[in-house]
Amino acid sequence: MQNAVYALLQLPQSTVPDLEHFLDPKDPILRRISRKTSTVDERTRKFWTDYDRETYYHRSISAVVNRLDIFFRDPMSTILSTPALSFKKEMSTAPTHYFLNVSHSETATRVYWVNSCLSDSASSVEP
């Protein structure tokens, strides 16, 4: 399980539902990709090479997948597959800018957004 997570974290565009495909002994595509991808560390690549050769892993995988089944089904798989907010992307492509007031005051933290097209437009929302 640990090596599957390591590999998926190092593969671009991978999601939580890919984990089930990664572990499935009959579906070698993601494992093959991880072995050929230079961004995946050597130790993880070696593990997945051994995984395809050893039958021990194939026999024990159903228990692991069974325990993780909730993460592979909707709505959980959809929630976990949603890309995280990228500040770099938001600041460079979106016309909206976000300002977070995270001071340690007694008042609630406010999120301010300013539409850059309308410079006099500013709003706030409480969490």
Q: pLDDT exceeding 70 applies to what percent of the chain?
A: 65
Residue range 88-109: mean pLDDT, rounded: 56
Where helices occur in the chain by DSSP H, the ranges are 2-10, 18-23, 29-36, 42-53, 55-72, 76-81, 87-93
Q: Which one-letter amino acid corresponds to residue 29?
A: I
Instruction: For residues 69 and 15, state if they share a domain.
Output: yes
**Residues 109 and 67 both lie in one domain:** no
How many structural domains are present in the chain?
2
Q: Could you report the per-residue pLDDT of 37-53, keeping only the tens digit for each?
A: 998 999 999 999 998 88
DSSP label at residue 34: H
Burial of 106 (0-12, 13-18, 19+ CB in 10 A): exposed
- 98 and 115 share a domain? yes
* 93 and 77, same domain (yes or no): no
Q: What pLDDT score was predicted for residue 126?
A: 45
Tokens 């976000």 sit on residue = 98
Q: Are residues 23 and 50 in the same domain?
A: yes
> Could you list the residue range(s) of the whole structural domain that residue 117 is in?
87-125
* 75 shares its domain with 94: no
Place of tokens 């590999």: 7
Average pLDDT score over the chain: 74
Residue 42 shares a structural domain with residue 92: no
Same domain for 72 and 104, yes or no, is no
